[in-house]
Structure 1
Amino acid sequence: MSEVGTSGIPEAPFNVVYLGIGTVAWVVAVLKFLAWRREPSPGLLVVALTIVGPATAFVVATPVLYRLIDGLTGRGNLATLFVYLGITGFSASVVVLARMWTPPKKRTNSRVWEGVTGDTWRQARRRLAVFAVLVPTMIVLFLTGGADSPETPLTFDTTFATSPRIAVFLVIYQVLFGFALIDISRVCSGHAAGLPYGWLRRGIGLIAVGGLVACGYVGCKLIAIGAAFAEVDGVEWLSTAAGPAFAALGAVLITSGFAGPAIAAWTLRRRDYQALRPLWDLVYRADRRLALEAPPSPWTERLAFRDLEWRTARRGLEIRDGQLTLRPWVDPAVVAAATAVAERTGLDDRDRAALIVAAALRAAGEALNAGTPPRPREDQAPLPGLDAEPAEERAHLVRVARSLYAPLTGEALAVATAAE
């Protein structure tokens, strides 16, 4: 690896920054592709493809890999074409994504591309037609522009902008990139303002800010290219220092915007999966036939990173089956005591329901293990939350699990025991 390139600019920092950003972006892209495989939809696929372009571009732009590609292909600066085509692919994907993004008020759920229609695809196809014409034009201009020597991984733009064909190639690339950045920033800014506070709003807001920051790269590059074409010296730093700084910061913000909501959703699924364990253990002890497999070890539970949605959903279904199994042993006195404790402490409806169910199931499990005869159907006490909507059911079960061994639950059980 060359520490200082032929331009005299140290390449080591660019190796670290570009390769780091590209690697992280590729990780995010892979996660998006995995999400698309679990839940196929055009929107997720476009998001994944949107990340792939710049991720590949940053990796290829790493000076050490840039030189390796040129060496393997036998043509100097060919890696530059791959870098710029990667960013142009990002521009095309972003333009499509901006057309697909549904304003919050027009959605029937949280899916930002829920409202995709035939008109959406017609708009997208018209814009992609522009890319379909300009991308081959860029390739021809690059390959016939005589920019194969000297090899310049960091100063290609200002070195070869004096060539009319390369200058046109660079301007087309920057205009497409700038248009895409402004388009997605405009769309994201409008949509973020209509979303409730949370990770999705923060993520979309970061994409909007990142797009505007990356516009600084376009501005710096266009000025530097124009100056080089006019043979004006002294502004090369805009292309070699300021432009890459804007690009790197913009890429970090945009990647964080795409990754943030996904990481938050993954973290929530993992937290719910682990939070349900005490409640699942209780019903598993009541009837081991409910579970598809034995309880995982604590270490297996801590190291659970894959298939969390499926695992959590399965755990919730098994808990629901366990509740039905324990229902004949639910003591109405425990339900009454838990209700009184909840009212006395001023719990809201959701926490009140969780406390009642937690106390009732704990007592039912103990009664079953003690050999207490089951109650007939007409004497069984109904429990709140059994009719919860699917979207609310998991949150209800998590609250029950967290209330299972809480002090108020112990107090409710003590009150019920004292009343016997």
Structure 2
Amino acid sequence: MGLYVPPLLAWICLVFALLKSDLRARDPARRAILRVLLALALSFTVLAPAPYDAVARFTGVPNLARFLGHAALLEAALMGQVFLLYLDPAVDDPRARFRRQGWWAAGVLAAMALAFALADTPVNDRSFTGRYGGELWVLEYWVILGAYLVPAFHSMGRMAWRYSRLSGNVFVRVGLRLVAAGVIAALVHHVNKALLLAVDRLGYDRAPGVGRLLDALLPLAVPVLILLGATMSAWAPFLRLPALLEWLRRYRVYLVLRPLWRGLYRANPQIALVRPPHLLADLLTPRDLGLRLYRRVIEIRDGRMILRHRLDPDVAAAARERAVRVGVTGRMLDAVVEAATLSAALRAVGNADAAGNADAAGNAGDGEARAGEPPSVAVPGGDDLASDIAFLCDVARAYRRSLWAWRLSRLPGARLPRRLR
């Protein structure tokens, strides 16, 4: 039954893509990907056991389904390159490239037909290369097929990976990377199959075990990777994956901010609207995440404002000098300086608590004294909520590193790792 998974998946992806496409729109890239899916569906279908035998019975030509499946695979490789060419703004005339590739594919197909006709393969057998691997013209047939597929797979994998890094849509990016992985796996499969055929031609009794294993696994892995990757941008919204991805992003940010928020809360519990849950409760009950994340950001900012008179400009200057010395720049530089300044201020509050300094520890500079005095250290951050959250995440990560560095430095004979110094 596993042999029917690739054709079934291919037809499902094609139908889903057709339902999500506007066929009246003159979008050559979308039409190219539909032709890729159709060609793959036809190729995988005729190579499945029952259609493979049916083609031989209907035409009277043994193993003709093998040639038809490979012809459809040539069409899929051709249209896959065309689709990626339409994504490249640097290509002025994708149609000209398509015509050149089309003539090359037609020549390869004609040579394949000649080699297939000359090969002596009188028995219809799905294990075509296993049964006839040592016969004349079978290896040649595969090499001719590879003359088009190997460069095409290499080009498609390289272009898909490059375009994935340029896309701002996460599902397009992941889909293109799956396509790149699929076509590279197809390239490996084709080269591996050629080597196995060469071993059979030379008369060796046993081929390498790794080669046989790849020959069994890659034909199933390749269609799954390519089909899922090529259609991910269509079926991901249907499965509500964008909403899930946004929820996971908020959840990760919420937990990243927890150490910084926890340190500020311990210094000034009044910043929290409600008593904070235990870490496990935070992990296991992520309800109302949007509201809780918004509150966490506000409470961090409130805690920072209460500590503003504890922020030492000398600490900030020293932290900035050390960070610049190791090459930190931009927003990360501001985040590292902010984390070091907050960490020093929170330790000062903790020391004042331990010493019983009621004036410093009780109010922690809450503004009763020196009200209206400007803060001693400028307030860095983003221009809006999203950029401020991104900045606070950088601060929280730097704060966590500085906190662990401080804790380790208190151990007898401790020597800090270089990344914590």
Residue 64 of structure 2 corresponds to residue 78 of structure 1: yes
The residue type equivalent to 1:128 in the other structure is G
Structure 1 residues 142, 198: closer, same or farther in 2, change over 3 A? same
The residue type equivalent to 1:146 in the other structure is D
**In the alignment, what sits opposite 1:32?**
17
Q: Distance in 1 between matches of 2:180 and 2:295?
A: 45
- Deviation at 1:175? 3.3
Question: Are the counterparts in 1 of residues 30 and 83 from structure 2 also a CA contact under 8 Å?
Answer: no
**Counterpart selection for 2:45 from 53, 56, 59:** 59
**Counterpart selection for 2:34 from 48, 58, 61:** 48
The residue type equivalent to 1:167 in the other structure is L
Residue 185 of structure 2 corresponds to residue 213 of structure 1: yes
Task: Tell me the TM-score normalized by structure 1.
Answer: 0.53
Q: Distance in 2 between matches of 1:100 and 1:184?
A: 12
- Deviation at 1:143? 2.0
Residue 171 of structure 2 corresponds to residue 199 of structure 1: yes
- Mind listing any 5+ residue stretches in structure 2 that lack a counterpart? 244-293, 299-421
**In the alignment, what sits opposite 1:139?**
113
Q: Distance in 2 between matches of 1:143 and 1:92?
A: 24
**In the alignment, what sits opposite 2:266?**
none
**In the alignment, what sits opposite 1:90?**
76
**Counterpart selection for 1:163 from 135, 141, 144:** 135
Structure 1 or 2, whichever has the larger Rg, is 2
Q: Distance in 2 between matches of 1:239 and 1:73?
A: 33
Residue 155 of structure 2 corresponds to residue 183 of structure 1: yes
Residue 197 of structure 2 corresponds to residue 222 of structure 1: no
**In the alignment, what sits opposite 1:391?**
none
Task: Tell me the TM-score normalized by structure 2.
Answer: 0.53
**In the alignment, what sits opposite 2:381?**
none
Give 1:21-420 correspondences, 5 Å limit.
21-34=6-19, 35-102=21-88, 106=89, 117-118=92-93, 120-147=94-121, 149-154=122-127, 156-196=128-168, 198-235=170-207, 241-267=213-239
Structure 1 residues 236, 136: closer, same or farther in 2, change over 3 A? farther
- Runs in 1 of length 4+ with deviation above 3 angstroms? 161-164, 236-241, 265-271, 344-348
Residue 1 of structure 2 corresponds to residue 20 of structure 1: no
The residue type equivalent to 1:51 in the other structure is L
Structure 1 residues 50, 237: closer, same or farther in 2, change over 3 A? farther
Q: Distance in 2 between matches of 1:175 and 1:270?
A: 40
The residue type equivalent to 2:80 in the other structure is V
- Deviation at 1:263? 0.9
Identity rate, percent: 17
- Mind listing any 5+ residue stretches in structure 1 that lack a counterpart? 1-15, 107-114, 272-343, 349-420
SS state at 1:95 partner:
helix
Structure 1 residues 152-202: Cα deviation after superposition (integer angstroms, max 9, x where no partner): 202x12432433333221111133222222111100111111223521111
SS state at 2:188 partner:
helix
The residue type equivalent to 2:222 in the other structure is G
Question: Are the counterparts in 1 of residues 189 and 219 from structure 2 also a CA contact under 8 Å?
Answer: yes
The residue type equivalent to 1:200 in the other structure is V
Q: Distance in 2 between matches of 1:167 and 1:124?
A: 28
Structure 1 residues 240, 194: closer, same or farther in 2, change over 3 A? same
